[in-house]
Amino acid sequence: MFDRRQFVAGLAGTTVLAAPTVLRAQTAWDMPVPYTDGTYHTQNVRWWVDEIAKATNNGIKIQVHSNNSLIRLPEILRAVGSGQVAAGEILISQFGNEDPIFELDSIPFLAQGFDQGQALYAASKAALEAACQRRGIRVLYSVAWPSQAFYSKTPINSAADMRGMKFRTVSPITSRMAELLGAVPTLVQASEVPQAFATNIVTGMITSGATGVQSRAWEFSSQFVNLRASMPKNAVLVNERAWQRLPEAVRKAMTEVSAKAEERGWKLAGEVETNSIEELRKNGMTIVEPSAQLLTDVKAVGAKLTEEWIAKAGDTGRAVIADFRKRIGA
C-alpha cells in the first residue's frame, strides 16, 4: 500500500533536490498502465522510462504501475486529465463513447494492415491530440496492436458463413460489425474466452494474433482468417499542467525519446504479429487469407461503419477520412 499524502505530493509536480544543473532537479511521477509486464506495450513503456532517465541524467523518475495495479484502464484517461496521476497509458478505443476520434482506429475494415494503419494514424493524429488537449492531456506517443483477425471453429469464406454465429465482441463498434455480418454479438471478457468457446457461448471472435497466443486459441478454435481488419492503438499520455512544470530541457529530451519509442513500438507490433501467427500455426491452427467473397462482404461492412462514424464525428471526422483516403490512394 502506498502513502496517500506522498502519492498526491508526487502527482502535484516536483521534488526538487539541490543540484548544480536543471537536469539534476528530479521530478517524480506515477504512471499506471493497463497491461502485464509480458506485453510488448508495457515493455516499450519501461524502455521509454529508462531512456528518459538516461537522457535527463535522472532529472525525472517515472514509476510504472503495470497490469491495472494502481488505476484500472477505464479510469486512466480521467486520472491523467485531472492530475490524479501525471502520466498513463490507455487503449484509445476504450474511450470511444467520450469522443468519436477515440473510436476511429477500431473501425473494422477501414484501415487494413500496417501501411494503412500508419496512414490512418498520420491522418488522425492532429485530431486525436486536440481531443486530448481539451481534456488537459498531451499525447507523447502511440503504438498499434497487431492486426485484428477472425477466429472460429468452422471455416469463414463469406458473410453467409457467419449468419447466426455467436461472435465474441469487445466494443460497441465490433458489436455493430457482427450485426452487419449477420452474427450474434456476445460480450465476453478476455479471461473468459476459452470457457465461452468450450461451452459454445461463442463460436467466433475478432482479435489479434498476440491475444490468440496468450489465450491458447488452438485449444478452442481451429480457423484464423488473416483479415488484418484494424489496428487499435495504445497511447502514452501526460497531464498538460505537469508537463509544463518540467524544465524545458527535460521536455525536449522526453519528446525525442517518445519519437523513438513510437518507432520502436510499431516495429515490435510487426514482429509480434509475425511471431504470433507462426505460433498459432505451429500449434495446429489453420491460417488462411480471406477469400475474395469475404473481402467483398467485410469491405461493404467497413464502408457502412465508416459512414456511421462520420455521422457522429462531423466535419472533423469527414476531414480525417478524406485525408486517410488520399494517403492510401483510395
Joined together, the cell numbers standing for residue 15 give 521534488
Residue 68 CA: distances (Å) to CA of 37, 76, 85, 272: 11, 9, 13, 22
**CA-closest candidate to residue 168, choices 213, 217, 202:** 202
Joined together, the cell numbers standing for residue 251 give 521536455
The reported pLDDT for the residue numbered 191 is 72
Report the residue count for the chain. Answer: 330
Joined together, the cell numbers standing for residue 275 give 511471431
The reported pLDDT for the residue numbered 25 is 52
> How far apart are alpha carbons 76 and 236 in whole angstroms?
11
> How far apart are alpha carbons 235 and 208 in whole angstroms?
18
The reported pLDDT for the residue numbered 176 is 92
CA dihedral 99, 317, 143, 48 (to 10 degrees): -70
Dihedral sign computed on CA atoms, order 33, 35, 38, 43: negative
The reported pTM is 0.84
The reported pLDDT for the residue numbered 234 is 96
The reported pLDDT for the residue numbered 15 is 39
Instruction: Return mean pLDDT, the chain.
Output: 90
The reported pLDDT for the residue numbered 3 is 46
The reported pLDDT for the residue numbered 170 is 75
pLDDT digits (tens, 9 = 90+) for 42-84: 999 999 999 999 999 999 999 999 999 999 999 999 999 999 9
pLDDT digits (tens, 9 = 90+) for 283-309: 999 999 999 999 999 999 999 999 999
Residue 275 CA: distances (Å) to CA of 64, 211, 252, 269: 27, 12, 35, 10
The reported pLDDT for the residue numbered 214 is 84
Residue 160 CA: distances (Å) to CA of 154, 257, 293: 12, 48, 10
- What proportion of the chain, given as a percentage, has pLDDT over 90? 82
| Regions of the chain short of the pLDDT cut 50 | 1-24
The reported pLDDT for the residue numbered 294 is 96
